[in-house]
């Protein structure tokens, strides 16, 4: 099979998929606030820790609206062209510097098609790059430098900004011009245990994991979120990873999920999922955590 056939087989015509969000508690409140803000013509900012479910919530929101969903995760490496688009050199040979040779970026696609654009980790972006979006947010028009032209932003275009708390490493103070255009601010935390249990169970449907087994996973993960020795705790993705890994290893070995398997899974997942504060030893911390919650280090 050559790569052309491989690409044709793997092409996704409808990129929508289950978001994995359980709409209850803080997620229901956030979703309803997003809906009210959207209907009022106000852009939304979501603030919460890494892995709290911000992206999944935004994806579900866009799917429920029936809108295209585009997103960019900001960092020092993101430049205006990553948002707006650029010329494809191979097409320039054929068409010259014309619209036919221009490849729109995610922000341009959302703005012109009336989609939902998620500005993920917005407060990690460079101010020069963020300013690329200002006219589209305020004047409902977008300037594309490569084409030297202004374009009308679709009436249905909607922006959601997702940010980590300001105290997190690598974040910047959000420029006032951008902050002023985001009118509704919603804070998310890690979900309550009952909600997170449902989320993990939803991502482990092919495994027969008892609620009590998932509870043990959540107990470990919650410890990392409450311990002052932890600088960056485990996320929902860590909970899912531990549960799935332990269940799959148990299936391969033909035995039930026990404390030893959970400890093995937790060590493999958490070793890179959490960050301890300076002066603390990660392996010693994991030994203590696993002994306390499971009675074994694996």
Cβ–Cβ < 8 Å for 188, 46: yes
Between vectors from CA 245 to CA 241 and to CA 251, what angle results, nearest 5°?
Answer: 150
Residue 167 and residue 249 in one domain: no
Instruction: CATH number of the domain at 102, please.
Output: 3.40.50.300
The CATH number for 241's domain is: 1.10.8.80
- For 141-164, what is each residue's pLDDT tens digit? 999 999 999 999 999 999 999 998
Question: Which of 133, 153, 187 finishes a domain?
Answer: 187
Distance (Å, whole) CA 247 – CA 241: 10
Pair (140, 253) in one structural domain: no
Segment holding 217, helix H or strand E: helix 211-226
pLDDT band at residue 11 using 50, 70 and 90 as cut-offs = low
Helix H or strand E segment including 138:
helix 134-138
- What are 80-139's pLDDT values in tens digits? 999 999 999 999 999 988 999 999 999 999 999 999 999 999 999 999 999 999 999 999
Q: Total structural domains in the chain?
A: 2
219 vs 237: CA distance, rounded Å: 14
The answer to whether residue 5 sits within a structural domain is no
Q: Which residue range(s) make up the domain with 222?
A: 193-294
Say whether both 159 and 198 belong to one domain: no
The residue among 155, 68, 159 whose CA lies nearest residue 119 is: 159
Does 247 fall in a domain?
yes
41-97 pLDDT, tens digit per residue, is: 999 999 999 889 999 999 999 999 999 999 999 999 999 999 999 999 999 999 988
CA–CA distance, 132 with 142 (Å, rounded to integer)? 9
Tell me how far apart the alpha carbons of residues 283 and 18 are, in angstroms, rounded to a whole number. Answer: 36
Q: Give the whole-angstrom CA distance, residue 68 versus residue 23.
A: 21
Torsions phi, psi for 272 (to 5 deg): -120, -5
């Amino acid at each position: 099979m050559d790569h052309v056939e491989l690409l044709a087989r793997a092409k996704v015509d409808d990129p929508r998929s289950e978001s994995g969000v359980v709409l209850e508690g803080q997620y229901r409140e956030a979703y309803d606030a997003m809906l009210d803000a959207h209907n009022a013509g106000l852009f939304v900012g979501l603030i919460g820790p890494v892995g709290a479910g911000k992206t999944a919530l935004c994806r579900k929101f866009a799917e429920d609206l029936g809108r295209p969903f585009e997103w960019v995760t900001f960092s020092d490496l993101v430049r205006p062209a990553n948002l707006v688009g650029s010329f494809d050199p191979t097409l320039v040979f054929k068409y010259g510097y014309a619209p036919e040779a221009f490849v729109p970026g995610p922000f341009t696609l959302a703005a012109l098609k009336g989609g939902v654009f998620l500005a993920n980790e917005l407060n990690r972006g460079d101010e020069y790059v963020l300013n690329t979006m200002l006219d589209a947010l305020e004047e409902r028009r977008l300037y594309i430098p490569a084409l030297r032209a202004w374009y009308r932003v679709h009436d249905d275009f909607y922006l959601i900004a997702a940010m980590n708390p300001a105290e997190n490493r690598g974040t910047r103070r959000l420029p006032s011009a951008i902050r002023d255009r985001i009118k509704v601010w919603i804070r998310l935390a890690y979900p309550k245990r009952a909600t997170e249990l449902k989320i993990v169970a939803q991502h482990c449907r092919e495994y027969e994991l008892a609620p009590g087994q998932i509870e043990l996973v959540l107990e470990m993960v919650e410890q990392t979120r409450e311990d002052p020795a932890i600088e960056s705790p485990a996320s929902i993705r860590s909970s899912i990873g531990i549960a799935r890994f332990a269940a799959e290893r148990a299936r391969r070995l033909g035995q039930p999920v026990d404390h030893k398997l959970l400890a093995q899974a937790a060590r493999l997942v958490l070793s890179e999922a959490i960050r301890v504060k300076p002066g603390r030893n990660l392996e010693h911390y994991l030994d203590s955590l696993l002994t306390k919650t499971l009675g074994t280090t694996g």
